Amino acid sequence: MFTKILIANRGEIACRVIQTARKMGIKTVAVYSEADKDARHVLLADESVHIGPAPSRESYLLADKIIAACKQTGAQAVHPGYGFLSENAEFSKRVEEEGIIFIGPKHYSIAAMGDKIESKKLAGKAGVNCIPGVNDAIETPEKAVEIAKGIGYPVMIKASAGGGGKGLRVAFNDKEALEGFTSCRNEARNSFGDDRVFIEKFVEEPRHIEIQLVGDSHGNVIYLNERECSIQRRHQKVIEEAPSPFISDATRKAMGEQAVALAKAVKYQSAGTVEFVVGKDQSFYFLEMNTRLQVEHPVTECITGLDLVELMIRVAAGEKLPLTQEQVKRDGWAIECRINAEDPFRNFLPSTGRLVRFQPPTETMFASDTSRWQGVRVDTGVQDGGEIPMFYDSMIAKLIVHGKDRLEAIAKMREALNGFVIRGISSNIPFQAALLAHPRFVAGDFNTGFIAENYSQGFRAEDVPHDDADLLIALAAFVHRKYRHRATAISGQMEGHEVEVGNDFVVLTLGQGGRTTATSVSVTGFDKKTGSSAIKVGASSYQIYSKYRLGEIRIEGTFNGEPFTAQVERGSVAFKNPLAIRVSHNGTQIDTLVMSKRAAELYALMPYKAPADMSRFVLSPMPGLLVDVAVAVGQKVQAGERVAVIEAMKMENVLFASADGVVGKLLASKGESLTVDQPIVEFV
C-alpha cells in the first residue's frame, strides 16, 4: 500500500480523497493555483505544492507541474479526481512512465473510452446497445446540418472529448444545428483542447441512467447498481439518486451486464461509469463511459455501504476486489443535490465572490466513513469566509441523504436544504427545494426534459406553491416579536414612554413594483424563556417553539408539535429595507414588513419609487470575461440577434438583443473583466 499520494485536483473531490487517504493511514499532497492558496483542500492535506496562476490551463491542466510535484514530495501515486486531467490518457501514460501509480484506469482504457466516437464502435463490438448517429468527426457547420437532417431532428451535437455538459447542444432545426455546432467546437477547444464534434439521434422523453462499476488488475469487474441522473439543466446534472425509481430488476441486470462486458473489453481497472440513455419503454442505449470517479458517487456509496475512493486506491495498489457481484448490496435510497454558485432568480447565471456565511446542515454521515448510514452528508471544498473563484466550475458542495425508502430520502433532503445557509453569493438551494416538492418528482415521473418543461420561463421563488403559506407569515411575526421584545429592554428610556409591544400586527408581503399584500396577525403568549408563542394568521393557528437567537439565519423548532427548519433574515437585500424580514422554507421565499396596524396604514400612503429604466442597455448578467462583442456603433440590431459573449466558470454565455435598435455606444471592450450589471452596449 502507498504511504503518500498526490491529489491532482481541487475543491470537494480533493477533500474527499484526502479523507479516505487519512482513514487508510496514507499521507496526502495537495496542489493549488494562485486562486486556491487558502482553499480547504490545501489546509486538509499533509503537504501542498503551488503549481501556477489561477487559470486551470496554467495550473491544474499542466501535467509537467503535477509530475514535478509528485517527485518533489515523494508521492508514489496520483489521484486525478474528476475533471482536469482525470480522463487524459497521455497524462496517465506519462505518470506511469515516471514510475508513479495512476489511481485510475490504465491509459489504454482511458484512450479507448475517452474518445466518444471510437468508444461507440468498441461498445458495439462488445455487444452493448448503441444509439443511431454519425460517429465520425464533422468538419463544417454546413456538414453538421446535412447530417442532422439525414438522422432526423432532434439531434444531439457533442464534442468528442466533452463532459460535464460542456460541448453539448440539442438541435431541433437547421438554425440550432448550425449555431450549436460552432458553440460546441469553441467550448470543446477551450475546455478540452480537442474540437472534434459528432452527431447522434436525440431520444425523446429520455432518462439518463448510469451504471457504476469497478474492476481490478486480476480481471474482475463488478457493477454497483445504477444511478438515476435524469434531473438535468442544460445537460448538467442537478439531482442524482440511487437506485432509479424507473427501471426494473431485469433492466438493471441487463444494463449492468453490458457495462461489465464493455469494461472487460478494454481491460478496465478502477472505478468507472457507463452512461445509458433509457427510453420510456426501458429500451437503453450506450452514451459514453466516464473513466474516472463521478461527482455523484456518494449515492452509490450509501446504498452499497462501500467507499469507492478506497476501492480505487486498493485496486491501484494491485489488490483484488474485496467482494463479488453477488455480494453487492442495495440498501435504502440515497439522493444527492449539487449545490452550485448560481442565481436561480437570474436564469441560473454564475455567482462568484466571498462566502460570507457557509453553514451546512448538521452531518450524521461522513465521506470515507462506512460505519454510519441513514443520515445527512455534505461533501465540500469550501468553508466560511472562503472564495468562489470565476476560474473553475460552480459547485459549492454536494448534499447527500440516505433514507429507508425514496419518500423518506426526499423528506430528509428537503429538511437539509432548509437548513443549508449560504450567503455572500447566490446558490441554487431554493430551486433544489422546489424540485423536491414537485409532484412529478415525488412520483418518480420525470425524464431529462423535466426542468425545461416545468420551468421554461425561469424560476421565481414566489411562484413555488407552499403547502402552508401562513406558516411563513407566522414565522415573520414570531421573529419580529422577538426583536420588539429586545427593544423593551433598551436602557435610558423616558419614563412613561417605554417601548410597549401589543399583540396585533400587520404582515405586509412585499412584491415587485411596490405591490404589497397585508395579513392581520396576532401574537400571544410570548415567552422569552421557553421560546414559544401562539400565533394566529387568519383562520390558521400556530404554537411555535424555537430557541432562535436574533441575528441567526437558520431557525429550528416545532410548530404545532411538528419539527421544522427554515431561514429568516432581517434587512432584505432585494428591497434594501433594514426592517424587512425574509423567510425561506421548502423553496418558497417571501419578503415581509411586520408593523402595527397604524404603521401599516401610513406605509400604504408612501409613494413607490420605480427603479431606473435600463432597457436601452445590454448589461452583463454575471461576473466574467467579455470574449466577444458582435456589434459595432451605428449597427442596426434585431431582437434575438447576438450582441456579446461572456465566459464564466468554463461556460460561454451568449447575450442577445431583447428588442430592435441601433447601437449607440460600446461601453466595454473584448478581453475586459465585467461585474454584474455592468453596461456593455447602449442602444439609441
Assign 137 a pLDDT band (cuts: 50, 70, 90): confident
Residues 35 and 121 in one domain: no
Point out the catalytic residue in the list 187, 288, 301, 342: 288
Tell me 59's DSSP state.
T
Same domain, 428 and 504: no
The number of residues in the chain equals 684
Nearest to 324 by CA among 249, 214, 415: 214
Query: What single string gives the DSSP state of each residue in 256-307?
Result: HHHHHHHHHHTT--EEEEEEEEE-TTS-EEEEEEE-S--TTHHHHHHHHT--
661 vs 120: CA distance, rounded Å? 47
**Same domain, yes or no: 632 and 515:** no
What confidence score (pLDDT) does residue 650 get?
A: 65
Q: Are 129 and 286 in contact (CB under 8 A)?
A: yes
pLDDT digits (tens, 9 = 90+) for 375-434: 999 999 999 998 888 788 889 999 999 999 999 999 999 999 999 999 989 999 999 998
541-591 tens-digit pLDDT: 999 999 999 989 999 999 999 999 999 999 865 556 888 999 999 988 889
Query: Pick from 268, 299, 331: which residue ends a domain?
Result: 331
- The reply to whether 97 belongs to the active site is no
**Helix-then-strand count for the chain, H and E:** 17, 39
> How high is the pLDDT of residue 193?
80
**313 and 243 co-located in one domain:** yes
- Residue 461 per-residue DSSP state: G
**Is it true that the peptide bond before 80 is cis, omega within 30 degrees of 0?**
no
pTM value? 0.84
Q: Are residues 217 and 127 in the same domain?
A: yes
Q: Report d(CA 482, CA 504) in Å as an integer.
A: 14
DSSP readout, 309-362? HHHHHHHHTTPPPSS-GGG----SEEEEEEEESEEGGGTTEE--EE-SEEEPPP
Which tops the pLDDT comparison, 610 or 521? 521
In a domain, 240, yes or no: yes
**For residues 412 and 374, what is the distance between their CA atoms, to the nearest angstrom?**
10
Instruction: Mark whether 221 and 243 lie in a shared domain.
Output: yes
pLDDT value of position 472: 94
Cell of 11: 475543491
Coarse DSSP helix, strand, coil percentages of the chain, rounded to the nearest 5 percent: 30, 35, 40
Of 402 and 615, the structure prediction assigns the larger pLDDT to 402
Give tens-digit pLDDT for 331-376.
Answer: 999 999 999 999 898 888 888 888 999 999 999 999 999 999 999 9
Looking at the fold, whether 271 and 124 belong to one and the same domain comes out as yes
Poorest-pLDDT segment among 7-11, 63-67, 266-270, 460-464 = 460-464
- Give CA 632 to chain center in angstroms: 36
Within-domain flag for 454: no
Alpha-carbon distance of 684 to 682, in angstroms, equals 7
Strands 588-595 and 636-637: unpaired
How are strands ordered across the β-sheet holding 77-79?
47-52, 27-33, 4-7, 77-79, 101-102
Residues 242 and 228 sit within 8 Å (Cβ to Cβ):
yes
Could you say which of 184, 201, 218 is where a domain stops? 201
Residue 494 lies in a domain: no
Q: Of 452, 396, 435, which Cα lies nearest the Cα of 202?
A: 452
Helix (H) or strand (E) holding 261: helix 249-265
Helix (H) or strand (E) holding 563: strand 562-572
The alpha carbon of residue 300 and the mean position of all alpha carbons in its chain are separated, in whole angstroms, by 18
Beta carbons within 10 angstroms of residue 62's beta carbon: 18
453-510 pLDDT, tens digit per residue, is 988 888 876 567 788 989 999 999 999 999 999 988 888 888 888 888 889 999 999 8
What is the DSSP secondary structure assignment for residue 36, as one 8-state letter? G
In a domain, 459, yes or no: no
Cell of 485: 421584545
Give the pLDDT band of residue 300 (cuts 50, 70, 90): very high
- pLDDT computed for residue 462 by the predictor: 58
Q: Give pLDDT, residue 575.
A: 57
Same domain, 222 and 308: yes
Total count of domains within the chain: 6
Distance, CA of 423 to CA of 389 (rounded, Å): 15
Range(s) of the domain holding residue 662: 617-683
Q: So what's the pLDDT on residue 652?
A: 78
